[in-house]
Chains A and B, each alone.
Chain A
Amino acid sequence: MLLIRLLTFLACLGASPAFAERAALSAALCAPSVAAKAEALRALAEAGALGGAAEAAWAQTLVVAVEARSFRCATGGAFIGEGDAALDAATLAPSPAPIDAAEMPINNRIRAAAASAAAALTLFTDVDPAARVEATTTLERRREALSLSILDAALAVETDASVLALLKPLRARMMLVDLAPENRIRAIEAIAADATLRNRTMISEALATEPDATVQAAGAAAMERIDRLIVIGKGLSTLYSGLSYASVLLLAALGLAIIFGLMGVINLAQGEFIMIGAYAAWFVQNAVRAVMPGLIDWYLIIALPMSFLAAALVGVVMEALVLRRLYDRPLMTLLATWAVSLLLINLVRVTIGTQNLEFHQPFYVVGGIHVVGDFIVTLNRLFAIAIAGLAFVGVVLVLRYTTFGLNMRAVAQNRAMAGAAGIDARRTDRMAIALGSGLAGLAGVALAPLYNVNPNMGTGFIVDSFMVVVLGGVGSLLGAVIASFGIGQINVIIEPLYGAVAAKVVVLLLVIAFIQRRPEGLFAPKGRR
């Protein structure tokens, strides 16, 4: 009975064309010399890599057996395991090992080759991308069983970005040590296509031991190209981080400018409205997680209107309880809004605590798009820029095309005349406060993925956003945009050179020098006060 089953099994396997090849590959592992054994492991890895999933799984089993010292060599072929429990190495079918089966001898060189082969095969057999990433890092160190054809096969089937990001440079490095100079040049070209500082180091390291003059020349040219692109990339990423800082400043300053332009009220609690917005986003996140866990990735989008409303609500309450009575005493509004900010900070501190809030990072704010050099368009900053851009467009549209916007412009120009024309100035004030506070709330959402969210987060913004308002001129949207971009850029340009404090000092001195010439800001309406 057993014999019949075994025979049919063997017959099936015999029909497979791979069988003979498998037998040869596994028999090669029993070659007498260490070099031949290492070469056999390399061939096994390559066969597994190029032969498809089943072949890779089989090769992996053999390599694991070699590593586990359960690989046996006998006159009748190779076996895995001992005695009656043994499997035939070529078929993996149960096949009692002959009496002369001996353990395959292993030394460090073979162990290294086996580890390399195992890692190479893992690229094809493991479904977990993390395991493949680990295998790739192993291959960086252990290239004994690695070949270009294995890497090309892996690159062809690999879909995970994090693994691909490691495999590509590995292939380039393999090529760099290729025997043919034209292959080395090709490798340098391939590496230089992605102009990062890391790749530049890789090329310069390879050139240090490069004997061929043409390769040297190609390498020098490639490095020059990389240097140029790195400089461009550095400039771009400075601009980019300035842009993202500016966009948050703009969100905070737009609200300030609207409120100040309309009512002459400086809202020292604007930074705390940012904080309220961020906390509202956190509550939205928790609510989404509890009620509709499937939508958790979209909580930041859901939070946009909620945070706007939350901050606007606090602003309206502040207007109703405090500001309404202070419109003729603008200096007192400074103290009153400062008191409101102190109250808000401490209310949050007592009710929620002082620790930084944990935010889920949805896929659209994680990672970035690599552009040039070391410049990466990080998505969390892009998110903030997008929110600022949309909010700005929204504000422009509201001001220009809605009745409320018309009323606001009228009241800002001449309160008494607007009142005479039948505009309810107080109501316009309230709505402007709601709009201005709501914009700060949006800034809170924009900051949630890239900033520490805690009760004190707003205090750092207040001075900078006031500089924007002062520089931008009261109630001028364009002025606020230009001023926030200017301040954002100055901050990021000076910061790496002289530190964050120097950046703040320079901005402040510029503002003081600036208001000497134009006390009413960049874009003040013409006329003498």
Chain B
Amino acid sequence: MGGGMLFRTIAISLAALTLALPILGGPLAGSGIGISPYLANIIGQIATFALLAIALDLIWGFAGVLSLGHGLFFAMGGYLIAMHMLKEGYVNAGVVPDLMTFMGWTELPGHWAFFESFPYTAALILILPGMLAFAYGWMSFRSRVSGVYFAIITQALTYVAMLLMFRNDTGFGGNNGMTGFVSLLGLQMGAPQTAVLLATASTGAALAAFLLCGQLVRSPFGRMLVAVRDDEARLRFLGYDTVWPKLAAWTLSGVIAAIAGALYVPQVGIINPRLLSPEVSIEIAVWVALGGRGTLSGAVIGAVVISALKFWLTGFAPDLWPFILSILVIVVVVGLPNGLSDLRLPGLRRMRDGR
């Protein structure tokens, strides 16, 4: 599992994309094989979705713990990086953030302190979601909350976070969210080169997470996770502590999701509480379910196929998308228990079996 030909194909494609993007989107941008900044931006966004799907597959596909709240970690990463960009623009370029204007504030609230520093923000992007995931996971796994209970409560957490973020007085921009970013690490927002570089970073991060998680699930730790998924009670009976493997995977998953969010928000140029709505989080699970759980490859394929389809369809038939998505989910969930990898496509099957 995981080490098959499909896994290698995806790893190689991601690596090739990461290497080729700066060239095709840079010097060759205007040529026949070049990539426009617009296309690079879409590729970058889809790469962050793939990263997010990898995060969810790690915990759902391998440890059997479904989260319907990964949008929470994703949004956390996004909000933190957005705060950095706004604060940095305010301090260095004197651009007053919109949220200060409509709240009538003369200065940013206390929790915005130090956000002009990128290292500080980057550390928070790793630490805060990690701490939240750890705290919630520790409380839940320790008292053996699992299955649909766990899933529903993650969704409730995300929902409550959305309600909190919709408030204007919390100092996170309320329902307007945050937008009007100036620059990130010296890169000018909106410049073609920035889009290409961010997209490259996203595919690079997806590749890194893909390889890291691939190694992880093949290690003894990964076997342990699968054992937890398949029969936790027996494992406990045999004397293993099942809380810590689950907790480690869950926390790592939350951190990866936050990194995905931090890469996503500079590319779309806005964040608002809609990212925390239950639908977004469920859609992440849909990517993984459609691609096939417990393979990592499936998660990437699911995220790429569904979000590419969504980009393409919402362009000309936005009303059609919910119908296609819901029917696709029903058909796949009912007919293809392992997602699209159940399709008897000869080539795909050979790749999956590593023959």
Contact = CB atoms under 8 A, between A and B. Distances in A.
What size tier do the contact residues of chain B reach?
Answer: 35 or more
B250 interface: no
A350 B319 contact: yes
A340 B160 contact: no
Contacts of A505: 160, 163-164
B103 interface: no
Contact of B334 (A325, A334, A501): A325
Report whether over half of chain B's contact residues are helix, strand or loop; otherwise say mixed.
Answer: helix
A339 B325 contact: yes
Contacts of B163: 500-501, 504-505
B303 to A, nearest CB: 15
Contacts of A517: 143
B143 A516 contact: yes
Nearest to B322: A346
A274 interface: no
Contact of A529 (B144, B151, B153): B144
A254 interface: no
Interface in A490-529: 499-501, 504-505, 508, 511-512, 515-517, 519, 529
Given A335-B282, A335-B289, A463-B156, A342 B326 contact: yes
A48 interface: no
A466 interface: yes
Contact of A340 (B136, B149, B155, B330): B330
B323 A331 contact: no
Interface string B145-186: 101110111011101100110110000000000000000000
B320 to A, nearest CB: 9
Contacts of A330: 147-148
Given A339-B333, A463-B156, A519 B144 contact: yes
A283 interface: no
Contacts of B333: 322, 326, 332, 335-336, 339
B133 interface: no
A500 B329 CA distance: 33
Contacts of B285: 334-335
B19 interface: no
A466 B152 contact: yes
A343 interface: yes
Nearest to A499: B167
A519 to B, nearest CB: 5
A47 interface: no
B145 A340 contact: no
A466 B153 CA distance: 9
Contact of A326 (B279, B322, B334): B334
A336 B334 contact: yes
A345 B322 CA distance: 9
B139 interface: yes
Contacts of A43: none
Given A335-B285, A346-B326, A350-B319, A508 B157 contact: yes
Contact of B152 (A266, A322, A335, A336): A266
Contacts of B286: 335, 339
A326 B289 CA distance: 14
B109 interface: no
B329 A339 contact: yes
A255 B160 CA distance: 24
Contacts of A350: 319
Interface in B20-77: 60, 66, 68
B159 A463 contact: yes
Given A343-B323, A516-B143, A519-B145, A338 B282 contact: yes
A326 B148 CA distance: 14
B337 interface: yes
Contacts of B160: 501, 504-505, 508
B148 A340 contact: no
A500 B278 CA distance: 18
Contacts of B68: 334
B327 interface: yes
A290 B196 CA distance: 62
Contacts of B149: 470, 515, 519
A511 B334 contact: no
Contacts of A504: 159-160, 163
B151 A501 contact: no
A467 B333 CA distance: 26
Contacts of B143: 515-517, 519
B151 A331 contact: yes
Interface string A338-375: 11101101100010000000000000000000000000
B298 to A, nearest CB: 14
27 contacts: A260-B148, A266-B151, A321-B330, A322-B333, A322-B334, A326-B333, A331-B60, A331-B151, A332-B337, A334-B151, A336-B329, A336-B334, A340-B326, A343-B322, A345-B322, A346-B322, A346-B326, A459-B278, A463-B159, A466-B155, A467-B156, A470-B153, A504-B159, A508-B156, A512-B136, A512-B153, A519-B145
Given A343-B322, A505-B163, 10 more contacts: A321-B334, A331-B148, A334-B148, A334-B151, A342-B279, A342-B326, A346-B322, A501-B166, A515-B153, A517-B143
8 A-B pairs with the lowest CB-CB distances in the bound complex, closest first: A339-B329, A343-B326, A339-B326, A342-B326, A346-B322, A501-B163, A336-B333, A331-B66
